[in-house]
Amino acid sequence: MDTLLTFLNMGGYGDFIWPAYVIVTIVLAGLLISSRRFVKAAEAELGSIKQPHQRGRREVGDET
Amino acid sequence: MLHRFANPTRFLRLAAAMQPWMAALTGVMLAFGLYFGLFDSPGDYQQGESVRIMYVHVPSAWMALLCYTALAGSCAVSLIWKHPLADVAARATAPIGAWFTFLALVTGSLWGKPMWGTWWVWDARLTSVLILFFLYLGYMALDNAFDDPGRGARASSILALVGFVNVPIIKFSVDWWNTLHQPASVIKMGGSAIHPSMLMPLLLMGVGFTSYYFWVLLIRIRGEICANKVRSLRLRQVHEQPSADDLSEEAS
């Protein structure tokens, strides 16, 4: 327990070191998650536009 | 070779194949970098344990500069050769670079308080990095400020290229002016001034941050290509729909 507390204390600089690591982790994880969501949303929108568009083309093709 | 992979469809295939490798490299490098940085490297003889902030601060600052160089390079290709993939790469890089710059500023501030006794000082290095952050924000704001994406890309590309002058200013600011910020110590004439026990975790974190950048960049480029396709399909739909005037003419 003492070893853990000594490690977390970081020679008295723990109040500065841990926030730095936490902020970096939050930002990098958040950027990765938001980038993946951005791709998924764009792909879903593309799929929803393409489907009626392709259906419409097929219907035009059936008439001829 | 470059032209071959500049084709968006071929690029997307290559990007899909590379993504798992980039993710694995990021995970491995950051795991080893954090282990050596937090558990298996000594404190500094002057700065004590606070030096461990270096393992996230310095790679963030490196990436802030690398991303801006990539952004300016993409903007130059976009302006000169008008290649659509260059626009997409620039737009995908900008938010990643902006976040790395934010991290460099915040972690630097957290390191500055115990070492310098202040969170912030208007010296050349800190101020030029803050300007870099505003350049990223300005690029993104200008890119989205026009209804016509082509005009937005042109205007923001010119801003990014003009702003590139700030990159060498950041690099050499610690040599040209008297600053609180320490001078270059990793890459300098006469070899690195950092002990290998500290240099190794720093380089591992640097490689980890770089592979993270390419990983997220590939994801965002895929998203931007999809968003471009959505925009062009919507435009085509608008053009294909008969206008109100056409309908009234047909009715009469």
DSSP letters along B148-197, please? SHHHHHHHHHHHHHHHTTHHHHHHHHHHHS--SS----SS-TTS--S-HH
**What's the pLDDT band for A61 if we cut at 50, 70, 90?**
very low
Residues B13-38 have pLDDT tens digits of 888 999 999 999 999 999 999 999 99
Vertex B88 angle, CA B82 and B90, to 5°: 90
Contact across the interface for B107 and A39, Cβ inside 8 Å? no
Residues of B in contact with A17 (CB under 8 A): 49-50, 52-53, 110
Residue B109: is its pLDDT beyond 90? yes
Domain definitions of chain A by residue range: 17-63
Residues B125-181 have pLDDT tens digits of 999 999 999 999 999 999 999 888 888 999 999 999 999 999 999 988 888 887 778
- Residue A59: the pLDDT is 52
Domain definitions of chain B by residue range: 57-182+206-234
* B contact set with A (CB within 8 A): 43, 48-50, 52-53, 56-57, 60, 95-96, 99, 102-103, 106-107, 110-111, 113-114, 212, 215-216, 219-220, 222-224, 226-227, 229-230, 233-234, 237
Q: What is the mean pLDDT of residues B71-96?
A: 93
Q: Cβ(B211)–Cβ(A31) under 8 Å?
A: no
CA B115 to chain centre: 28
**Of B75, B47, B32, which is closest to residue B164 (Cα–Cα)?**
B75
The CA distance from B126 to B108, in Å, is 9
CA atoms within 13 A on the CB side of A40: 6
Structure tokens at B241: 């729909």
User: Could you report the predicted ipTM of this complex, rounded to two decimals?
Assistant: 0.88
**Of B236, B12, B243, which is closest to residue A54 (Cα–Cα)?**
B236
The CA distance from B70 to B97, in Å, is 9
**What's the pLDDT band for B243 if we cut at 50, 70, 90?**
low
Which among B212, B219, B234 is the nearest to A49, CB-wise? B234
The C-alpha of A51 sits at a distance from chain B's nearest C-alpha, in angstroms, of 11
The CA distance from B39 to B8, in Å, is 44
B91 CB burial (10 A radius; 0-12, 13-18, 19+) = buried
Q: What is the mean pLDDT of residues A29-58?
A: 83
Q: Position of tokens 């204390």?
A: A9
- Residue B2: the pLDDT is 53
Which among B103, B113, B220 is the nearest to A16, CB-wise? B113
The CA distance from B136 to B198, in Å, is 31
Q: How many helices (H) and strands (E) does chain A have?
A: 2, 0
Strand partners, B17: none
Contact across the interface for A20 and B96, Cβ inside 8 Å? no
The C-alpha of B175 sits at a distance from chain A's nearest C-alpha, in angstroms, of 27
Contact across the interface for A11 and B43, Cβ inside 8 Å? yes
Residue B210: is its pLDDT beyond 80? yes
The CA distance from B155 to B163, in Å, is 12
